[in-house]
Chain A
Amino acid sequence: MSSSPNRSLHRFANPGQFLRLSGAVLPYLAIGAALLTALGLGWGLFVSPADYQQGDAVRIMYVHVPAAWLATGGYTGLAVCSAMSLIWRHPLADLAAAEIGPVGAGFTALCLATGSLWGKPMWGAWWVWDARLTSVLVLFFLYIGHVALVRAFDDPTRGYRAGAILALVGVVNLPIVKFSVDWWNTLHQPASIKLTGAPTMAPEMLWPLAIAALGYTLCFATIVTMRTRAAVMERRIRGLLMARAASDPGA
Chain B
Amino acid sequence: MTRKRRRLYVLLACAIGLGSATALTLTAFSDNLVFFVSPSDIATKGASGRTVRLGGLVEQGSVQRGNGGATFKVTDGASSVTVRYAGILPDLFREGQGVVTLGTLQSDGSLKASEVLAKHDETYMPKEVAEALKKSGQWKPDSGPPPPSSTWNKR
Contacts and interface: CB of A to CB of B under 8 A. Distances in A.
B149 A199 contact: yes
A122 B124 contact: no
Interface in A183-239: 183-187, 189-192, 197-205
B108 interface: no
Interface of A, secondary structure class, is: loop
A172 B25 CA distance: 12
B120 A201 contact: no
Interface residues of A, number: 45
Given A123-B118, A124-B118, A183-B30, A52 B35 contact: no
Interface in B23-71: 26, 30, 33-36, 55
B125 A51 contact: yes
A198 B149 CA distance: 6
A61 B34 contact: no
Interface in A110-126: 121-125
Given A87-B8, A131-B33, A198 B117 contact: no
A156 to B, nearest CB: 19
B7 interface: yes
B142 interface: no
Given A125-B115, A198-B149, 6 more contacts: A51-B127, A123-B90, A123-B120, A189-B122, A200-B122, A203-B153
Interface of B: 4, 7-8, 11, 14-15, 18-19, 22, 26, 30, 33-36, 55, 89-92, 100, 115-131, 148-150, 153, 155
